């Protein structure tokens, strides 16, 4: 696979610009002078944290484009993720992608076809995102109450009996 072309203004900065390789009539766009800073969320220790979105309280019906296999996964997995307090509103799109990929896997399996390596990799990555492999399950955090304080504060100190 070829490398993506470098923008002409970056070539000038790098000193690799050559007039004979410039693309004639290349489109030019307005540069953004000021871009708003994203909001910074801080955890209990005042350290920037990942943004938090609303947790889902009531799980919705499956999207209409999912077939029986995709809808079955949606209805089995979704309520469990809601109960574990790990599914946020923005995660519904990723869950939909997972269920759609799963339904394609099932369709191919029923037809006696094999998945491509790219499809297999993408499905495994989606499984990992939702903590559906033993290794990734340890990385998924619940959206419940987080303990306050430093859990490592007593390291190196004698324990009280």
Q: What is the pLDDT of residues 62-87, one digit of tens each?
A: 999 999 999 999 999 999 888 888 88
Instruction: Inform me whether the pLDDT recorded for 96 exceeds 90.
Output: yes
Return the C-alpha torsion angle 120, 123, 125, 128, nearest 10: -130
60 belongs to a structural domain? no
59 belongs to a structural domain? no
Going by pLDDT thresholds of 50, 70 and 90, the confidence category of residue 160 is low
d(CA 128, CA 139): 9
Q: What is the CA radius of gyration of the chain?
A: 24
Going by pLDDT thresholds of 50, 70 and 90, the confidence category of residue 8 is confident
In total, how many domains does the chain have?
A: 1
92 belongs to a structural domain? yes
Predicted TM-score of the model (pTM): 0.59
40 belongs to a structural domain? no
Q: What per-residue confidence (pLDDT) applies to 111?
A: 95
Q: What per-residue confidence (pLDDT) applies to 93?
A: 93
158/18: higher pLDDT: 18
Expressed as residue numbers, the domain containing 99 is 68-137
24 belongs to a structural domain? no
């Amino acid at each position: 696979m070829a490398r993506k072309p470098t923008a002409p203004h970056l070539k000038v900065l790098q000193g690799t610009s050559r007039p004979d390789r410039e693309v004639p009539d290349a489109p030019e766009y307005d540069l953004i002078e000021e871009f708003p800073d994203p909001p910074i969320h801080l955890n209990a220790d005042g350290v920037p944290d990942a943004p938090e979105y609303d947790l889902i309280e009531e799980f919705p019906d499956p999207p209409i484009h999912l077939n029986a296999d995709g809808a079955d996964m949606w209805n089995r997995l979704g309520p469990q993720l809601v109960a574990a307090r790990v599914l946020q509103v923005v995660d519904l799109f990723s869950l939909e992608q997972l269920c759609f990929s799963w339904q394609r896997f099932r369709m191919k399996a029923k037809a006696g076809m094999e998945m491509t390596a790219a499809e297999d990799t993408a499905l495994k990555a989606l499984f990992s995102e939702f903590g559906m492999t033993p290794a990734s399950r340890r990385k998924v955090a619940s959206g419940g109450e987080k303990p306050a304080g430093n859990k490592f504060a007593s390291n190196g100190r004698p324990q009280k009996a």
